[in-house]
Chain A
């Protein structure tokens, strides 16, 4: 009743929606970096968004079903093949759901665009819950056995419903909380330049580089650490960093801008070398967009999840 990790990929971890209520103790929220894709993978199997999935970044890996297992994959367009006895029996394009027989393997390759995808099993992986969540920053390793229940689904594809704006569209940010004049001029500069996500980006943070990115800003060495959140954009001597979902709860660098919640998934989708621009909007507008996206997402997930259940009833 589990999935065996044959090859783990390079930065694969178990993620659900993460933790709330522990930031006061210095515990970061964690959870899926691209929450919409994660929720879709779960919904394809009729599960709610807190289902624990494998978050795959940049390179997939290979996983073997030790029992019949319904799986789903959603997110960036990673290559995916199902192998039986070393022979490829299916090529699939996410988002999809399908079933593995005992001994079948899913081999996930790379992706031509984006960075992350989510491999779900029906009911979610039953790994250990710590502080209310299965989210873990420990990378999967070859030989790991991930407990899951035995399950079945017919193969389903769906037209990619991810409403992520085209990658050319700027990521939207709001000002602050650092609000001195220097912070404001850096914010303005951030929006004027095209940036590139650097190689050392991960779930903790996406570092940005630009040839025009030299900005003179003397850092206040006495600045006390302050609470941050995923999406915080901090200024460091090496350039800006956008904090990810696994970043610490406190930060010492100047926090001069913040990615709006509705666009945070797009930060999770940035692969090293991807280019990105930023556009400043007002906080009220950010909240309006957040509500709108939230409604769209809920209605989409309900539809996806409901069709899964009706199919299952017919085949029972």
Chain B
């Protein structure tokens, strides 16, 4: 019986599949189950919102046989505990905080409390290495537009929002999202090949003061710590 309930499967070129699901939850649970298995000839497995991509090497696996295996994954056998519950400390002093508050008709404190009160899902990692696309924001926080023209530099650690989503910039980079605050922690470590936040994890932000920010600046995120 097919419990994974693919909504449909399309080729993503001739060396990958894009599997679509009915909603984000089904996609996430299937992905967490698939990630625990190892498939010969599968190079990469990527979750993104309501879809997952499977990149394979046709020298090592027959694509049609692989697809049958992928469809047989029982996503019911997996629970959310196979993903990490990330807690990220944030100093809410972002340059776009006043804009966001005004746009939403909230006080700055309301914006902070609202942003830090929810547990988000990490729907995907992308845009740049280690950048978590998380959401969805509550109705009250949603709807802040991207900048019309991206900033040439959004500093590493910036915690930002756009539309219904929130994310964290792992490195200094151009960026069009509105910055609410910054985390003192590093969320990627290339030298150690360490990416503590993974698609399928949950992500919560915890408001901290300047002292804690300064004390912890440069620390590497431990996905199993809730500090």
Residues of B within 8 A of A249 (CB): 46, 125-126
Whether the pair A226, B48 counts as a contact (CB closer than 8 A) is yes
Whether the pair B13, A259 counts as a contact (CB closer than 8 A) is yes
Whether the pair B49, A291 counts as a contact (CB closer than 8 A) is no
Whether the pair A260, B131 counts as a contact (CB closer than 8 A) is no
Whether the pair A283, B199 counts as a contact (CB closer than 8 A) is no
Whether the pair A20, B43 counts as a contact (CB closer than 8 A) is yes
Whether the pair B44, A20 counts as a contact (CB closer than 8 A) is yes
Residues of B within 8 A of A291 (CB): 58
Bound Cα distance A309, B85 (Å): 54
A23-B44, A229-B55 known; A250 vs B127 contact (CB < 8 Å): yes
Residues of A within 8 A of B44 (CB): 20-24
Whether the pair A227, B46 counts as a contact (CB closer than 8 A) is yes
Is A167 positioned at the interface, with any CB of B under 8 Å from its CB?
no
Q: Which of A20, A26, A224 contacts B50 (CB 8 A)?
A: A224
Whether the pair B13, A248 counts as a contact (CB closer than 8 A) is no
In angstroms, how far is the closest chain B Cβ from the Cβ of A243?
10
Residues of B within 8 A of A177 (CB): 10-12, 18
In angstroms, how far is the closest chain B Cβ from the Cβ of A294?
6
Is B99 positioned at the interface, with any CB of A under 8 Å from its CB?
no
Could you say which of B87-95, B178-186, B190-198, B214-222 contacts chain A? Answer: B190-198
Whether the pair A26, B15 counts as a contact (CB closer than 8 A) is no
Is A165 positioned at the interface, with any CB of B under 8 Å from its CB?
no
Residues of A within 8 A of B15 (CB): 229, 261, 290
Bound Cα distance A287, B59 (Å): 11
Residues of A within 8 A of B11 (CB): 174-177, 258, 283
Most buried by A among B46, B50, B128, B130: B46
Residues of B within 8 A of A258 (CB): 11-14
Main DSSP-derived SS at the A contact region:
mixed
Is B155 positioned at the interface, with any CB of A under 8 Å from its CB?
no
Q: Which of B10, B16, B59, B129 contacts A26 (CB 8 A)?
A: B129
Is B124 positioned at the interface, with any CB of A under 8 Å from its CB?
yes
Size category of the A interface is 35 or more
In angstroms, how far is the closest chain A Cβ from the Cβ of B185?
17
Bound Cα distance A296, B188 (Å): 40
Is A27 positioned at the interface, with any CB of B under 8 Å from its CB?
yes
Whether the pair B129, A174 counts as a contact (CB closer than 8 A) is no
Q: Which of A20, A250, A261, A294 contacts B126 (CB 8 A)?
A: A250
Whether the pair B125, A25 counts as a contact (CB closer than 8 A) is yes
Tell me the residues in window 1-44 of chain A with beta carbons closer than 8 Å to chain B beta carbons.
Answer: 20-27
Is B51 positioned at the interface, with any CB of A under 8 Å from its CB?
yes
In angstroms, how far is the closest chain B Cβ from the Cβ of A178?
8
Bound Cα distance A131, B49 (Å): 25
Write out, one digit per residue, whether chain B residues 142-182 have a CB within 8 A of any chain A CB (1) or not (0): 00000000000000000000000000000000000000000
Whether the pair A225, B133 counts as a contact (CB closer than 8 A) is yes
Most buried by A among B18, B43, B49: B18
List 11 additional contacts besides A24-B198, A179-B10, A229-B12; criterion CB under 8 Å: A24-B199, A176-B12, A225-B127, A226-B49, A226-B51, A227-B18, A229-B15, A249-B125, A250-B124, A261-B14, A283-B11
- Which A residues are within 8 Å of any B CB, using their own CB? 20-27, 130-131, 174-177, 179, 224-229, 231-232, 248-250, 255, 258-261, 283, 286-287, 290-291, 294
